[in-house]
Structure 1
């Protein structure tokens, strides 16, 4: 359960932390508490699973990365956890996760997002993943982004 202050912190940060030198201080001043309390409460909410993450969400297009692709892989289920961990550690993979297959139409169980400034950049990254997965991968596909979608999470009304 969240109390009134936790709710206020969520409402103050749900569209993102303020883009200032000391964002926690800005939130604290808005709520009349200390920056330390904001940070501790956010850490506690993260630990409890009330909030999922505290992270920057870049706009890849504005950064020049126009060839963004969700790679999907049909990986041996016995090795998907260890291989997924290795793929997630690649510096060009922004997120990587396992999802259930939906046979017979969708055989893929490992997903990894890559971002390239050119199509060749993205293809090189995909080749690195394919090599890493090796014989434990039976097939793959790439779903390239055609537009950027608004990335938002849960919104709590005031």
Structure 2
């Protein structure tokens, strides 16, 4: 559960940090608190699992990364956690997670998002992932993005 002040913090931050030299100080001022108190509250919310992270959500298209592919892999269940951690640590993988299979139509349980300036670059990155997974991967595919559907984090509904 969150209290009223945590809710206010989330509501202010859900639109993103201000693009200023001291963004947390500005947010704290907006909330009528000091920066240290804000940072303590954010750390507590993170440790309680209320928030996972505060991170940039870039528009890859505007950065020139116009080819975006979700690589999907059918990986041995006993190896998916270890291999997923390796794949997620690659500098070109922006999202990596395990999901349940939807058999018989969807055998994939490991997902890794990669971006490139063209499909050839994305395919090179997929080949690197494939080399790491080796024989642990029984099947693979790639789903290319055609547009951005969502680029936001948590949004709280107004109380009322």
* TM-score class normalised by the smaller sequence: over 0.9
Looking at structure 2, the residues matched to 138 and 154 of structure 1 have their Cα atoms a distance apart, in angstroms, of: 35
Please provide the CA RMSD for this pair.
Answer: 1.0
The residue correspondences of 1:117-156 to structure 2 (distance < 5 A) are 117-156=117-156
Partner residue of 2:93? Answer: 93
Question: What is the CA deviation profile of residues 85-139 of structure 1, one whole-angstrom value per residue up to 9, with x for unaligned ones?
Answer: 1000110000100000010000000000000011111010000000000001011
User: Any gaps of 5 or more consecutive residues in structure 1?
Assistant: none
> Counterpart of 1:21?
21
How many pairs align?
A: 158
The Cα shift of 1:150 comes to 2.3
SS of equivalent to 2:143: strand
Name the structure 1 match of 2:81: 81
Alignment map for 1:19-98 (pairs within 5 Å): 19-98=19-98
Any unmatched runs of 5+ in structure 2? none
TM-score in terms of structure 2 length: 0.95
- Using structure 1 for the length normalisation, give the TM-score: 0.96
